[in-house]
Amino acid sequence: MTRLLQPVLAGVTTAVVGFASSFAVVLAGLRGVGADERQAASGLLVVCVASGVVAVWLGLRQRLPIVIAWSTPGAALLAATGPVAGGFPAAVGAFAVSGLLVITAGLFPALGRCIAAIPAPIAGAMLAGVLLDLCLAPVRALGEVPSMAMPTVLVWALLNRYAHTWAVPGALVVAVAAIALSGPELGAVDARPVLEATAPSWNAQALVTIALPLFLVTMASQNVPGMAVLAGYGYHPPLRGILVSTGLAGVVGAPLGGHAVNLAAISAALSAGPDADPDPARRWVASVTAGVSMIVLGVGSGLATALVVLSPPMLIEAVAGLALLGALASAITSAVAEPEGRQAAIVTFVVTASGLTILGVGAAFWGLVAGGLMTLTRRRHSGAAPAAGRAGPGGKTREDRPDDATRPDDAAQPDDAAQPDDATRPDDTARQARQPAG
């Protein structure tokens, strides 16, 4: 029993940190696309249970520390997208289609390779544009509800300095205390778990605005980095089984409000790293414990939703923004890491962050389109014949190259050790996967 204590505690910590740090993002996303209080509570419960069940199944089957979580960037995408034609039923239909696309990516590896082939600057810039508005919420909250937001932000800043893992949960505790002291009667809150079915509907706007961007964000920002994190600790689980399992969970959970489940990226390190257990062969116990703990935490989703409803909307958005600051930093790092891709990345970021809607299609999709077109334009330009001049060893002088086309080796590259875990580029996954297990 003593040998199991460390991985069990690591698993419980993984689940608590994962839930407390981003459940507000999930609720904000579901409410953003039209869910009412009961539908949002149902969605939070479903993604908790679905991620827990899949984590337990994969952990026991593979004997590897495979941590499963909900798609936090996907929830942020929903919050930024807002209501679509057809309301929440259309969003539910889009959730199911996104899950089917994940299954397809698992069954047909070529599709997964296509997603991994999206240039890292474009994927990072799109995610940064999606996250920006929520990450501005803490600043807005300081102006709108200063008496509640100020202690929340201060506690987050202090814990971020001295106990980084608990910064967002600590801020959440302060926010809940502020809500309780502000007057709402928490004793009258119905904390029972809620399951609310919604019949899905489908329309082109919801599929293009929600389903496709949700699939791309989940793959590029969760599944691909999640595999890289596991590979970094010497684990190489079969991606096919993970994608099929999480995609199926997404399809089954969609009618109950679940938007997406996927590989964990950041919190995976809590269960897959040496802190979970000195013996790598026993760390799967931590991921299985995390799955069981997520199911238990899902039972409290009704209370979590009630707290959100009782609080000023800007305060909960502020907590969600604090939870996403690390993801925003990683996305920006990925967007600007490669000099030759920065211009296309900036175009993608600006269009996505603008909130632009054309033909009923949201900004995330148009950001990808704009960045892709810019990338193609740049590639055609760089493929043109060089101007006349004295050629160097490669037939081209430095003067022949445009100033903004500096080669990656000519520029100061960021230190790999400074890169956040969830900023891993897709091409890193393939490279790490070829390394022998440690």
The pTM of this model reads: 0.67
The owner of tokens 């539908």 is 39
Render pLDDT for 312-325 as a digit per residue (tens, 0 to 9): 777 777 877 887 78
Give the model's pLDDT for residue 157: 93
Alpha-carbon distance of 25 to 204, in angstroms, equals 26
Alpha-carbon 250 to chain mean position? 15
Which residue, among 222, 223, 214, has the nearest Cα to 80 in the 3D structure? 214
Mean pLDDT of 2-26: 79
- Higher pLDDT: 102 or 270? It is 102
pLDDT in the model for residue 392: 40
Q: How confident is the model at residue 341 (pLDDT cuts 50, 70, 90)?
A: confident
Exposure string (b/e) for 258-270, b if CB count within 10 Å is 16 or more?
bbbbbbbbbbbbb
Tell me whether residue 342 is in a domain: yes
Q: Is residue 381 part of a domain?
A: no
Query: Helices 72-81 and 120-135 sit at what angle, rounded to 10 degrees?
Result: 60
Residue ranges of alpha helices (H) inside 82-188 are: 87-107, 109-116, 120-135, 137-144, 146-162, 167-181
Provide the CA 395 distance to its chain's centre, in angstroms.
44
pLDDT at 342 over 80: yes
pLDDT-based confidence at 226, cuts 50/70/90? confident
pLDDT at 347: 92
Residue 433 has pLDDT above 70, yes or no: no
Please report whether residue 278 resides in a domain: yes
Query: How confident is the model at residue 346, as a pLDDT?
Result: 93
Do 67 and 271 touch, CB atoms closer than 8 A? yes
Least confident window among 71-75, 101-105, 168-172, 235-239: 168-172
Higher pLDDT, 264 or 21: 264
Q: pLDDT value at position 377?
A: 82
The per-residue pLDDT for range 350-385, each reduced to its tens digit, is: 998 887 767 555 677 788 788 888 888 877 666 544
Position 2 confidence tier, pLDDT thresholds 50, 70, 90: low
Nearest in space to 313 (alpha carbons), one of 21, 31, 18: 31
pLDDT of residue 116: 64
In the predicted model, is pLDDT for residue 245 greater than 80?
Answer: yes
- Quick one: pLDDT band at residue 223, thresholds 50, 70, 90? confident
Residue of 165 and 211 predicted with greater confidence: 211
The terminus-to-terminus CA distance of the chain in angstroms comes to 26
**Which is more confidently placed, 145 or 88?**
88
- Which residues, 6 or more positions from 389, have their beta carbon under 8 angstroms from its beta carbon? 397, 399, 400
Sorting pLDDT into bands at 50, 70 and 90, what band is 189? low
Q: Which of 128-132, 239-243, 340-344 has the lowest mean pLDDT?
A: 128-132
pLDDT tens string 281-333: 888 998 999 999 999 888 877 777 777 667 777 777 787 788 778 778 888 88
In a domain, 434, yes or no: no
* Confidence band, pLDDT 50/70/90 cuts, at residue 260: very high
For residue 67, is it within any domain? Answer: yes
Can you give the pLDDT at residue 382? 62
Can you give the pLDDT at residue 132?
86
Residue 405 lies inside a defined structural domain of this protein: no
Question: Which residues, in sequence order, are CB contacts of 219 under 8 Å at separation 6+?
Answer: 102, 105, 112, 115, 116, 262
Bigger pLDDT: 343 vs 4: 343
Considering the chain, what is the average pLDDT of its residues?
A: 78
Q: Is residue 438 part of a domain?
A: no
- Residue 212 in any domain: the answer is yes
- Domain encompassing residue 197: 2-371+413-427
What is the count of structural domains for the chain? 1
| Residue 227: pLDDT band with limits 50, 70, 90 | confident
Residue range 133-154: average pLDDT? 89
Q: Looking at residues 340-359, what average pLDDT do you find?
A: 84
